[in-house]
Amino acid sequence: MSVRRALQLLAGGSAAALLAAVAVGKPWADSAEPRNNNGGTWDNNWDKREPQSLMKLKKRNQETGEEEIEPQLNNYRAKATRHIFLIRHSQYNLAGRNDEDRMLTLLGRQQAELTGQRLASLGLKYNAIVHSSMTRAVETTDIISKYLPGVKRISTDLLREGAPIQPDPPVSHWKPEAVQYYEDGARIEAAFRRYVHRANATQEEDSYEIFICHANVIRYIICRALQFPPEGWLRMSLNNGSISHLVIRPNGRVALRALGDTGFMPPDKITRT
């Protein structure tokens, strides 16, 4: 809230309104529901894994000075970098009435082959493939996994497609019921908190993880990870089978190395639906 607005509220004798406005403006990183980070300041403890926040308060209170606390903090500091590859599922049958009918098209299967080949060509030692439990994501994972033998697969309902948060500005062609935002948003936010964070202090080497899911989920996760207003998720467009690459450093800093990359696909294989 601006200083001018605060003065207007005080001048009008509306102290209650002022307090309410301040409460609404509370940074979303400290609340249960994400809000705009209007201040534009990076929150170092966005994933609640800053060493100071991981130490038990009782233990911290027993220490007498910084020199004694510092060695303890080293036990909680991350050492490795996490590389997160967010893959959108390939093209699927849009006419399907339910999830089981929304299988990959022939083109979609070809896209998944190309994505799998691209991931394999990077020569990275992948730690895991985490995928949505929806049919189109499972089938995309089946194909990509052929090119990454030995990489364990983990299925989760948290990464299923949904409506993460009301977009701003709104769009006329897509208007889910408010209850859908309420239900899906909590689940997708839970997926972000579960999977997107700096490495654990016990992790010694850099990790490379693949997440195969859906456009809405990926766009929301990218906004949250970069601490951009999450309401802006619908301003991005992702092709089928595309690769987005997030990097999370040990100090909690996040970088986006690629967004919706399909440069490895021939032009006639690229789709967005």
| 12 within domain boundaries | no
| 18 within domain boundaries | no
Model confidence at 6: pLDDT above 50: no
Model confidence at 200: pLDDT above 90: yes
* Pairwise CA distance, residues 89 & 203, whole Å: 29
Q: Among 27-31, 63-67, 93-97, which stretch is predicted with the lowest mean pLDDT? A: 27-31
| 37 within domain boundaries | no
Residue 55's pLDDT is: 79
**Terminal alpha carbon distance of the chain:** 40
| 14 within domain boundaries | no
Cβ-based neighbour number of residue 150 at 10 Å: 6
Residue 130's pLDDT is: 98
| 21 within domain boundaries | no
| 34 within domain boundaries | no
| 191 within domain boundaries | yes
Parallel/antiparallel/unpaired status of strands 207-213 and 128-132: parallel
Condensed to tens digits (0 to 9), the pLDDT of residues 98-131 reads 999 999 999 999 999 999 999 999 999 999 999 9
Instruction: Using CB atoms within 10 Å of the CB of residue 155, give its burial: 0 to 12 exposed, 13 to 18 middle, 19+ buried.
Output: middle
CATH number of 154's domain? 3.40.50.1240
- What is the tally of structural domains in the chain? 1
Percent of the chain at pLDDT exceeding 90: 74
| 113 within domain boundaries | yes
Condensed to tens digits (0 to 9), the pLDDT of residues 156-169 reads 999 999 999 999 99
Model confidence at 56: pLDDT above 60: yes
Residue 216's pLDDT is: 98
Condensed to tens digits (0 to 9), the pLDDT of residues 139-156 reads 999 999 999 999 999 999
Contact 218, 88 (CB under 8 A): yes
Residue range(s) defining the domain that contains residue 170? 82-266
Distance of CA 186 to the CA centre of its chain: 13
Contact 105, 91 (CB under 8 A): yes
